[in-house]
Amino acid sequence: MIKLYDSAFSPFARKVRMVLDHKGLAYEAVDGLLRSNHQALKAVNGRLEVPTLVDGDLILWESSAIMAYLCNKAGSDMWPVHNPAEQVEVLRWLSWNDCHWSPAVAPFYFEHVVKPTFKIGQPDRAALKGKTDDLFRWAKVLDDHLAGRSYVACDRLTIADFQLASMASYWREAEMPIEPFPNVVSWVDRLMHTPAWADPWPAEAAPQLREKASGY
Ligand SMILES: N[C@@H](CCC(=O)N[C@@H](CS)C(=O)NCC(=O)O)C(=O)O
């Protein structure tokens, strides 16, 4: 049985849950950020980071690698391992996310979602003003790419969509100024039609985040 150390507070864990649920893979979820589970998580990932996946002898961290692994296991072309050209296309967007998009959206997510969730201060809107140009720069790249497309790569849902949407899906509550980029807005909202993405956690888990995750 796959064991997933995750947390309803983690937008990275959400991607992994999406693949597991979307593909109907059986797994046991353990809240890795709960103090009572720290010892167990530390035994497999000394950095106490979620998501961390354990499948038999395999211990895997980094959400994009975990998504790819699970797609291979489920035989899903959301990670198109049998089509090298498509695989490279998905890889391009995974890389673009990690180098450009994720750093551009993260400050907004931190100020407006992480801070209130963990009660660590008020959102610093003044600091975010200085981050807007960077967000606009990369949102324009994505918006241009999405013109005439429904998904980021391969004309269908792939793990690239969820890699990019991880924090961006909270764009309204995170006050990310992406309204000028309608293709980005409609793409990120369209992903909510995938039930495993829209409703990633059971009702008892972190109700406030669950609400944010599914409400748009
Ligand atoms: N690049 C990693 C990021 C994972 C990450 O940042 N996880 C956070 C939660 S969202 C974490 O576990 N932080 C450790 C902590 O909060 O103690 C991935 O994609 O999986």
Q: Are residues 58 and 28 in the same domain?
A: yes
Q: Are residues 98 and 174 in the same domain?
A: yes
Closest ligand 1 atom, residue 47 Cα: 14
For 57, phi and psi rounded to 5 degrees?
A: -85, -10
Nearest CA to ligand 1 atom 1: 62
For the chain, give the percent of residues with pLDDT over 70: 93
Any domain includes 171: yes
Q: Which pLDDT band, with edges at 50, 70 and 90, does 125 fall under?
A: very high
Q: Are residues 191 and 160 in the same domain?
A: yes
Mutate which of 16, 42, 49 for ligand 1? The one with the most ligand atoms within 8 Å of its CB, which is: 49
**pLDDT for 106:** 98
Any domain includes 216: no
Mutate which of 5, 6, 7, 10 for ligand 1? The one with the most ligand atoms within 8 Å of its CB, which is: 10
Q: What's the gap in Å between 60 CA and the centre of ligand 1?
A: 13
Centre a 10 Å sphere on the Cβ of residue 202 and count the other Cβ atoms it contains. Answer: 10
Q: Are residues 119 and 189 in the same domain?
A: yes
The residue segments making up the domain with residue 58 are: 2-76
Q: Are residues 71 and 108 in the same domain?
A: no
Q: What's the gap in Å between 85 CA and the centre of ligand 1?
A: 30
Q: Are residues 132 and 31 in the same domain?
A: no
Nearest CA to ligand 1 atom 12: 49
Q: Are residues 89 and 71 in the same domain?
A: no
Query: Sheet containing 58-61: which strands, arranged edge to edge?
Result: 27-31, 2-6, 52-55, 58-61
Q: CB–CB of 43/50 below 8 Å?
A: no
Q: CB–CB of 88/98 below 8 Å?
A: no
| 61 burial level (CB within 10 Å; 0-12, 13-18, 19+) | middle
Write out residues with Cβ below 6 Å of ligand 1.
10, 12, 48-51, 62-63
Between the alpha carbon of residue 82 and those of residues 74, 77, 87, the distances in Å are: 13, 8, 8
Q: Are residues 8 and 112 in the same domain?
A: no
Q: Which pLDDT band, with edges at 50, 70 and 90, does 206 fall under?
A: low
Q: Cis link prior to 11 (omega < 30° from 0)?
A: no
For 83, phi and psi rounded to 5 degrees?
A: -130, 95
Between the alpha carbon of residue 40 and those of residues 15, 19, 44, 90, 177, the distances in Å are: 22, 23, 7, 33, 40
Number of domains in the chain: 2
Nearest CA to ligand 1 atom 15: 49
Any domain includes 137: yes
Q: Are residues 93 and 63 in the same domain?
A: no
Q: Which pLDDT band, with edges at 50, 70 and 90, does 216 fall under?
A: very low
Q: CB–CB of 78/16 below 8 Å?
A: no
Nearest CA to ligand 1 atom 16: 49
More confident residue, 199 or 212: 199
Instruction: Check whether 18 has a pLDDT greater than 60.
Output: yes
Q: Are residues 116 and 54 in the same domain?
A: no
Token pair of 79 as six digits? 């990670």
Q: Which CATH number belongs to the domain containing residue 71 in this structure?
A: 3.40.30.10
Q: What's the gap in Å between 20 CA and the centre of ligand 1?
A: 18
pLDDT digits (tens, 9 = 90+) for 87-114: 999 999 999 999 999 999 999 999 999 9
Which residues, in sequence order, are CB contacts of 123 under 8 Å at separation 6+?
111, 112, 115, 116, 175
What's the mean pLDDT when you consider all of the chain?
Answer: 93
Gap between the Cα atoms of 201 and 207, Å rounded: 9
Q: Are residues 71 and 95 in the same domain?
A: no
Q: What's the gap in Å between 13 CA and the centre of ligand 1?
A: 8
Q: What's the gap in Å between 57 CA and the centre of ligand 1?
A: 22
**pLDDT for 204:** 56
Any domain includes 203: no
Instruction: Check whether 5 has a pLDDT greater than 50.
Output: yes
pTM, two decimals, is 0.93
pLDDT digits (tens, 9 = 90+) for 20-57: 999 999 999 999 989 999 999 999 999 999 999 999 99
